[in-house]
């Protein structure tokens, strides 16, 4: 029921029983307050929000006052300012005098309040509480000398979150906020949700990372910020935890079209930044993605995808790898008529012809490439385009996303012998089931993930002995540790720290071995050129009949393509922040622009290209879509025993002896029994953004500002 | 029936009474989630805990009646006494008989925020309800000093009650009740009920009690118990303590009183529980009724009652001292100088006024005074029978196991006093 109340001569209609402080704040009347927070139960302890009610003696805290019909309230009087200022003086007497050395300076609710009330504690006996700053906890700093005992954090942790880690403690005569027996947060089962830091009006409980208001989201949800396409990771993990795989997958599809592929091969930059990693180990984000994508029929998001009316514009995408497919998919949904030309028989690019199928099964690639039909993309395979400008007569725009499909052979002595193979070609032929020309004893030169793909493919193709040698020391090898370990398990001999001196001739123009020296030092000089110092007299030979170069890949496009080239022969995109090439109407994306990188980077580049081309064709460039239902994240997360110690669940691999002889998938992902537990480990770093922000006097009427100025 | 006796009758009555019948007897009550029974946070005497032991039936009867009236589903008793098995069992047995779901919590503090939707009630109220159920008009519980609680009519004057409980000292200057003071002059007119005491314990103040000292003790005990959530209770008590300590240490200014009074008055209306409501009272009532005595500490540097150490002097009366040196042996800060052939001399700067030497002196030569040290006691005086005394002093020397010579006493004291708590000048 709505009632009429009067606050300082303003008549308001509010819900009966509503707290008068909120009623005032929501109607643009500022009343100073400290312990009150709209999302928390009232405490009524700070006494800054006091008001007078007509017909009643004395003052009442407005945060505890319930609106009744006809109530007449005064927020200013001599009595009020005397008591209010006295309260502030008392608070300040136990608070550091100088804000300028405080990390919260400039972003502090308390600081603005002091400014507004314009009081200081000079009349009072000041004290420094003498607590040591506690920086031993991950993510959160406790600096109890700055605490004003508003109790918001205790209520946020207890009543809002249901975790109940923070409480009032008392040591001798000093009450302070802390954990039971002053345990570390992790040992007290803190969930590191950040609610305490979010509601704290001072710099007492604060994030260990500093940030400006603009950087806040990216700093505090680093997984999403780090993901090249900014997948809403905490949101989908929350759905996974609830067993809502359709919704979770829909969240992923809002940003990328190939969750199953990425769920297997993504390099997971997100996990490197995951805040859970500060507590113990990062969340297995990639495997959660894979699990959810494998456990839904996709109908939910498919029924919701955007399909704008036809624009009549025609786009040709050259190259059916992740970048090209992504761009084609989004351009199709923007209403353009898209044709995708791919030189090989199947779509997928590196996902089909580079990454071996034991890591990324081809039916998975095929299934997700199939999503292109949702965007009505016309696919033409077996069509190679070397002169994209010729297409401009037929198409309004062309995107070149041909990737890097040509392997690099280092010009060392013997590099032209028979028996020399190169990564891109070798892996493509292996993928297509073609003869590769590989013998029985194989040496791979190179130490990145592609080199390991070659080595492990060689094992599977029946090589009797496989060696892999690279320049880098073991600790700094470029490949993922997991790759190195698994290859070793499969019998690959890894030789880090080697220079490739020469390839030896068996006298008949065929390879018979490689001569290496040990690397003593390897560094970059002041001109950022690599310098290698060999260990003297360390030359040694590994005998072999096949050498595979795996030291990089280049773009595979005719030199006379008509497009300006840049570093490493890549396609130049002369305007900073744009994917437009030197030829108007022709754009470029993916590895062809920036060199061989990751699938997810290619997807991001494909999205950027779609946005830019859509704008070029007269669209608004808005490719966002809402595929999952609105998130109703529960602010109440509850207590979990031993939360900080919950261990990361890993994907499961088939044993080495069972996997080393064919190209069947080697990983079964996270198991059903562990998916819920793993998703529960997520700290839900986004949850605190659902908490109402601080209300400062400066957000209110001009009156408040003028008053503070006096 | 007495509130201090087990009110089985009330408990027996209960089953026959409907909610309507209870409302008629006890009045209507607002809805509550649970009933929480405890003593007031401000009651640090905790004498009324005895009701739990003596009258479990009455306590439970009161809880049952209130549960029925408020629709509460649970009842809780909060007191450190429930740790005592006999008390706990008595309560549990009565609750079982009455079919009441009862929780016993061992604590001496009730946090209101944890009982947002509950009815908080004191043990005395419960016992009084039981009296009413048994058809009696309840009285109230009071005690004088450490004497037993007695039932008395709240309309009785304090003076009459004091007299009913034994002799009233001649030099009574007032009383302390809970955390407030009341002057002797008012006792004839003020009734027990008007004291509005939570603990019911009345402590008589005489000429030997310094009002400032009493106020400081109250402030300290309040600070110790305060949960520290409310600004005024937490920070206000801190300010009061620092200000009053300054006065007691002889460093006081009138602003210490002014500031304290301003804060204390605000505290009366700015806290969230009975403890905070009372926390300003030591200062407000001291300033209202005993202002002169308190302000004398600043204006005249005087503590009439001789309780504030900073205003005391301890000196050796040269007329009585035989130079025996017993005092020097017990002095914990080594500030008594014994020179063979002379009377003992106390270095007043280092003396902590602990009084140990007074008890040790066989000649009763050491004097404590709230006034000035007589001129003749400011220096050591040559003893009349110097030779005999010198021998005695030599004996004392041999007794010293660390062999420190008397003349080094001063240095020793100077060395040590830095680490010791010492009232300032
Ligand atoms: S917490 Fe706020 S008010 Fe306190 S010192 Fe830091 S900036 Fe200033
Ligand atoms: S659980 Fe959340 S609110 Fe509680 S202490 Fe941990 S981070 Fe703070
Ligand atoms: S830590 Fe912050 S939120 Fe918690 S009581 Fe102190 S000032 Fe308030
Ligand atoms: S804990 Fe969850 S939300 Fe936070 S960074 Fe890791 S995955 Fe992202
Ligand atoms: S008045 Fe004092 S003891 Fe009572 S709730 Fe407030 S801070 Fe705690
Ligand atoms: S009163 Fe205590 S400190 Fe002072 S002289 Fe006597 S024994 Fe020493
Ligand atoms: S905001 Fe109302 S008392 Fe603190």
Residue B419 domain-assigned (yes or no): no
**Tokens in use for A511?**
């390879």
Is A46 an interface residue toward B (CB < 8 Å)? yes
Pairing mode, strands A174-178 and A465-469? unpaired
CATH 3.30.70.20 boundaries in chain A: 108-207
Give B279-313 pLDDT, tens digit per residue.
999 999 999 999 999 999 999 888 989 889 888 88
Whether the CB of B233 sits within 6 Å of ligand 5: yes
CB distance A45–B236 less than 8 Å?
no
In a domain, B368, yes or no: yes
Asked if B262 lies within 8 A of A86 by C-beta distance, the reply is yes
Contact A125 B238 (CB under 8 A): yes
Q: What is the CATH number of the domain that holds B170?
A: 3.10.20
The rounded distance, in Å, linking the Cα atoms of A170 and A155 is 17
Specify whether B17 is located in the same domain as B108: yes
For residue range B57-89, list pLDDT tens digits in order.
999 999 999 999 999 999 999 999 999 999 999
Expressed in angstroms and rounded, the spacing between residue A632 Cα and the centre of ligand 4 is 18
Partner-chain contact A170 B243, CB within 8 Å:
no
| Residue whose pair of structure tokens reads 């290209």 in the numeric block | A609
- For chains A and B, CB pairs below 8 A equal 68
Q: Which residue among A100, A104, A117, A148 is best mutated to probe the pocket of ligand 1, counting the most ligand atoms within 8 A of its Cβ?
A: A104
Contacts of A59 in chain B (CB under 8 A): 269
Conformation bin of residue A349: beta by default, left when phi > 0, alpha when psi is -120 to 50: left
Point out the residue among B113, B231, B263 whose CB comes nearest to the CB of A46. Answer: B231
Q: Are residues B270 and B332 in the same domain?
A: no
Nearest ligand, measured from the Cα of A151: 3
**Same domain for B128 and B12:** yes
* Average pLDDT of chain B, as a whole number: 89
Residue B238 covered by a domain? yes
What pLDDT score does B377 carry? Answer: 87
Total tally of structural domains belonging to chain B: 4
Residue B411 pLDDT: 44
What tens digit of pLDDT does each residue of B249-275 get? 999 999 999 999 999 999 999 999 999
* Ligand positioned closest to the Cα atom of A110: 1
Which atom of ligand 4 is found nearest the CA of A681?
1
Q: Is the CB of A195 under 6 A from ligand 1?
A: no
Cross-chain Cβ contact A41/B223 below 8 Å: no
Candidates B107, B113, B225: best to mutate against A (most CBs of A within 10 A) is B113
Q: Which CATH architecture has domain A218-302+640-646+659-688?
A: Orthogonal Bundle (1.10)
Q: In what order do the strands lie in the sheet with A378-381?
A: A378-381, A337-342, A314-318, A397-400, A586-588
Domain boundary among B158, B183, B205: B205
Using a CB–CB cutoff of 8 Å, tell me whether A85 touches chain B.
no
The verdict on B329 and B349 lying in the same domain is yes
Taking the centre of ligand 6 as the mean of its atom positions, its distance from the CA of residue B348, in whole angstroms, is 9
Look at phi and psi of residue B366 and say left if phi exceeds 0, alpha if psi is from -120 to 50, else beta.
beta
The contacts of residue B232 (CB under 8 Å, 6+ apart) are A47, A87, A90, B263, B266, B267, B270, B271, B276, B279, B280
User: Of the CATH numbers 3.40.50.970, 3.10.20.600, 3.60.15.10, 3.10.20.740, which one belongs to the domain with range A2-92?
Assistant: 3.10.20.740
**Which of A464-468, B98-102, B106-110, B390-394 comes out lowest in average pLDDT?**
B390-394
The bound ligand whose nearest atom lies closest to the alpha carbon of A695 is: 7
Closest among B148, B105, B112, B147 to B40, alpha carbons compared: B112
- Residues B293, B223: one domain? yes
Name the interface residues of B facing A (CB cutoff 8 Å): 113, 116, 223-224, 226-232, 234-236, 238-239, 242-243, 259, 262-263, 266, 269-270, 272
Chain A positions in Cβ-Cβ contact with residue B272 (cut-off 8 Å): 44-45
Do B238 and B280 belong together in one domain?
Answer: yes
- Closest C-alpha to B237, from B181, B275, B294, B196: B275
Residue B414 Cα to ligand 6 midpoint, Å, equals 14
Number of residues in chain A: 710
Domain-located, residue B383: no
Residue B407 has pLDDT above 80, yes or no: no
Q: Does A162 touch chain B (CB under 8 A)?
A: no
* CATH class held by domain A108-207: alpha beta
- Stretch (H or E) spanning A655: none
CB contact under 8 A, A94 and B235: yes
10-residue mean pLDDT series, chain A (710 residues): 93 95 94 97 96 95 96 96 97 94 94 94 94 96 97 97 97 95 97 98 96 96 98 97 96 97 96 97 98 96 96 97 98 98 97 97 97 98 96 98 96 95 97 95 96 97 97 93 96 96 95 96 85 92 97 94 93 95 97 96 98 97 95 92 96 92 93 94 97 89 52
- Tell whether B360 is covered by a domain: yes
Quick one: which H or E segment has residue B425?
Answer: none
**Sign for the pseudo-dihedral over CA of A678, A681, A686, A687:** positive
Q: Give the residues across from A495 on adjacent strands.
A: A469
Last residue of a domain, one of B299, B331, B346: B299
Pocket mutation for ligand 2, best pick of A154, A155, A161, A162 (most atoms within 8 Å of C-beta): A161
B404 assigned to some structural domain? no
Ligand 5 proximity of B329 Cβ (cutoff 6 Å): no
In a domain, B410, yes or no: no
B398 confidence band (pLDDT: 50, 70, 90): very low
Are B220 and B200 found together in one domain?
A: no
| Sole residue written with tokens 């009785």 | B156
Question: How many C-beta atoms lie closer than 10 Å to residue B252's C-beta?
Answer: 22
Closest CA to A328 of A71, A67, A614, A578: A614
Kindly provide the b/e burial profile for residues B295-321, where b requires at least 16 CB atoms within 10 angstroms of the residue's own CB: bbbbeeeebbbbbbbbbbbbbbbbeeb
pLDDT over 60 at B408, yes or no: no
Ligand 4 atom with the smallest distance to the CA of A273 is: 5
Distances (CA, A) of A436 to A386, A419, A601: 25, 10, 29
Q: What is the CATH number of domain A314-405+555-616?
A: 3.50.50.60
Pair B186, B118 in one domain = no
pLDDT given for residue B15 in this prediction: 81
The 10 Å Cβ neighbour count of residue A461 is: 17
Complex ipTM, two decimals? 0.86
B106, B18: one domain = yes
What's A620's DSSP letter? -
CB-CB: which of B228, B230, B270 is closest to A83? B270
Which CATH superfamily includes the segment(s) A407-553? FAD/NAD(P)-binding domain (3.50.50.60)
Mutation pick for ligand 2 pocket among A134, A180, A185, A634 (CB with most ligand atoms within 8 Å): A185
Cα dist from A602 to A189, A264, A319, A557, A615, whole Å: 40, 16, 12, 18, 20
Contacts of residue B196, Cβ cutoff 8 Å, sequence gap at least 6: none
- Rounded to whole angstroms, the Cα distance separating A608 from A588 reads 10
Residue B400 has pLDDT above 60, yes or no: no
Q: Which DSSP letter does residue B43 get?
A: -
Give the percent of chain B with pLDDT over 70: 90
Query: CA B5, B11, B12 angle in degrees (round to 5)?
Result: 115
CATH 3.50.50.60 domain extents, chain A: 314-405+555-616, 407-553
Mutate to test the pocket of ligand 6, among B343, B345, B355 (most ligand atoms within 8 A of CB): B355
B118 & B52 share domain: yes
Would residue B421 count as lying in a domain?
no
Domain housing B260: 211-299
Structure-block tokens of residue B263: 């804060």
């Amino acid at each position: 029921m709505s009632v009429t109340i009067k606050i300082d001569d303003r008549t308001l209609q509010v819900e009966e029983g509503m707290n008068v402080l909120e009623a005032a704040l929501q109607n643009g009347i500022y009343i100073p307050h400290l312990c009150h927070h709209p999302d928390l139960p009232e405490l009524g302890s700070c006494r800054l929000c006091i008001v007078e009610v007509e017909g009643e003696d004395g003052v009442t805290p407005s945060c505890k006052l319930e609106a009744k019909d006809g109530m007449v309230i005064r927020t200013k009087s001599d009595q009020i300012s005397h008591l209010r200022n006295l309260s502030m003086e008392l608070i300040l007497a136990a608070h550091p005098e100088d804000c300028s050395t405080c990390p919260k300076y400039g972003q502090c609710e308390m600081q603005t309040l002091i400014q507004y009330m314009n009081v200081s504690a000079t009349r009072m006996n000041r004290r420094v509480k003498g607590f040591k700053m506690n920086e031993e906890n991950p993510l959160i700093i406790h600096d109890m000398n700055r605490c004003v005992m508003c109790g918001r954090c205790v209520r946020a942790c207890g009543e809002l979150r249901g975790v109940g880690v923070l409480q009032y403690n008392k040591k001798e005569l000093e009450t302070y906020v802390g954990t039971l027996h002053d345990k570390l947060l992790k040992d007290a089962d803190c969930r590191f949700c950040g609610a305490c830091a979010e509601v704290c009006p001072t710099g007492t409980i604060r994030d260990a990372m500093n940030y400006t208001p603009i950087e806040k989201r990216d700093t505090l949800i680093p997984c999403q910020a780090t993901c090249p396409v900014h997948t809403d990771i905490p949101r989908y993990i929350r759905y996974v935890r609830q067993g809502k795989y359709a919704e979770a997958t829909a969240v992923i599809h809002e940003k990328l079209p190939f969750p199953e592929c990425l769920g297997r091969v993504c390099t997971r930059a997100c996990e490197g930044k995951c805040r859970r990693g500060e507590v113990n180990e990062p969340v297995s984000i990639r495997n959660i993605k894979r699990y959810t994508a494998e456990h839904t029929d996709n109908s939910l998001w498919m029924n919701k995808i955007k399909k704008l009316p036809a624009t009549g514009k025609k786009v040709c995408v050259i190259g059916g790898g992740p970048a090209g497919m992504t761009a084609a998919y989004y351009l199709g949904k923007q209403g353009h008529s898209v044709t995708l030309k791919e030189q090989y028989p199947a779509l997928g690019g590196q996902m089909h012809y580079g990454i071996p199928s034991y890591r990324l099964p081809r039916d998975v690639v095929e299934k997700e490439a199939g999503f292109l039909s949702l965007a009505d993309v016309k696919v033409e395979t077996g069509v190679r385009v070397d002169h994209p400008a010729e297409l401009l007569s037929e198409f309004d725009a062309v995107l070149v996303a041909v990737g890097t499909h040509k392997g690099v052979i280092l010009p060392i002595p013997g590099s032209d012998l028979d028996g020399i193979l190169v990564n891109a070609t070798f892996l493509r032929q292996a993928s297509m089931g073609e003869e590769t020309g590989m013998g029985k004893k194989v040496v791979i030169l190179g130490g990145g993930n592609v080199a390991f793909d070659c080595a492990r493919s060689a094992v599977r193709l029946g090589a009797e002995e496989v060696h892999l040698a690279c320049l880098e020391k073991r600790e700094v090898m470029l490949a993922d540790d997991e790759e190195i370990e698994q290859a070793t398990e499969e019998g690959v001999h890894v030789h880090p720290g080697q220079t490739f001196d020469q390839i030896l001739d068996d006298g008949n123009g065929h390879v018979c071995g490689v001569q290496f020296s040990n690397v003593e030092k390897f560094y970059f000089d002041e001109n950022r050129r690599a310098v290698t110092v060999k260990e003297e007299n360390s030359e040694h030979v590994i005998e072999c009949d096949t050498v595979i170069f795996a030291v990089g890949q280049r773009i595979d496009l005719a030199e006379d393509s008509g497009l300006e080239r840049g570093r490493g022969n890549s396609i130049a995109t002369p305007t900073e922040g744009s994917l437009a090439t030197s030829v108007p109407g022709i754009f470029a994306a993916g590895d062809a622009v920036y060199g061989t990188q990751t699938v997810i980077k290619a997807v991001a580049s494909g999205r950027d290209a779609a946005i830019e081309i859509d704008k070029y064709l007269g669209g608004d460039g808005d490719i966002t879509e809402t595929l999952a239902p609105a998130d109703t994240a529960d602010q109440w997360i509850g207590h979990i025993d031993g939360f900080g110690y919950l261990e990361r669940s890993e994907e499961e691999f088939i044993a080495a002896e069972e996997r080393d002889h064919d190209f069947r998938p080697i990983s079964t992902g996270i198991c059903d029994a562990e998916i819920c537990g793993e998703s529960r480990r997520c700290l839900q770093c986004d949850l605190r953004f659902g908490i109402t922000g601080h209300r400062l006097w400066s957000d209110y009427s001009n009156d408040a500002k003028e008053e503070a100025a006096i | 029936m007495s509130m201090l006796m087990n009110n089985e009758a009330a408990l027996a009555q209960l089953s026959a009474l409907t909610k309507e019948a209870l409302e008629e007897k006890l009045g209507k009550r607002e809805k509550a989630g649970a009933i929480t029974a405890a003593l007031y946070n401000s009651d640090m005497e905790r004498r009324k805990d005895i009701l739990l032991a003596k009258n479990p039936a009455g306590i439970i009867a009161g809880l049952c009646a209130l549960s029925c009236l408020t629709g509460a589903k649970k009842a809780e008793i909060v007191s450190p006494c429930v740790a005592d098995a006999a008390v706990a069992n008595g309560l549990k047995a009565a609750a079982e008989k009455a079919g009441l779901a009862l929780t016993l919590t061992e604590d001496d503090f009730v946090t209101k925020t944890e009982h947002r939707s509950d009815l908080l009630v004191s043990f005395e109220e419960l016992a009084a309800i039981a009296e009413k159920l048994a058809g009696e008009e309840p009285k109230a519980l009071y005690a004088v000093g450490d004497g037993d609680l007695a039932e008395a009519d709240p309309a009785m004057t304090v003076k009459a009650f004091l007299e009913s409980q034994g002799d009233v000292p001649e030099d009574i200057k007032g009383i302390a009740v809970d955390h407030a003071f009341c002057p002797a002059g008012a006792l004839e007119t003020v009734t027990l009920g008007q004291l509005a005491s939570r603990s019911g314990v009345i402590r008589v103040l005489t000429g030997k009690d310094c009002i400032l000292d009493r106020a400081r003790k109250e402030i300290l005990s309040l600070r110790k118990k305060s949960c520290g959530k409310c600004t005024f209770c937490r920070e206000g008590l801190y300010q009061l303590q620092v200000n009053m300590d300054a006065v007691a240490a002889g460093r006081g200014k009138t602003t210490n009183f002014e500031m304290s009074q301003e804060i204390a008055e605000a505290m009366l209306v700015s806290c969230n529980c009975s403890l905070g409501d009372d926390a300003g009272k030591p200062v407000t009532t001291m300033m209202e009724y005993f202002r002169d005595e308190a302000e004398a500490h600043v204006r005249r540097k005087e503590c009439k009652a001789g309780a504030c150490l900073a205003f005391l002097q301890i000196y050796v009366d040269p007329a009585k001292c035989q130079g025996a040196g017993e005092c020097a042996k017990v002095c914990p800060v080594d500030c008594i100088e014994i020179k063979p052939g002379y009377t003992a001399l106390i270095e007043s700067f280092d003396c902590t006024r602990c009084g140990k030497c007074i008890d040790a002196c066989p000649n009763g030569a050491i004097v404590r005074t709230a006034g000035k040290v007589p001129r003749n006691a400011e220096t050591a005086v040559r003893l009349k029978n110097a030779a005999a005394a010198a021998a005695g002093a030599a004996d004392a020397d041999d007794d010293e196991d660390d062999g420190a010579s008397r003349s080094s006493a001063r240095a020793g004291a100077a060395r040590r006093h830095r680490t010791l708590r010492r009232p300032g000048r």
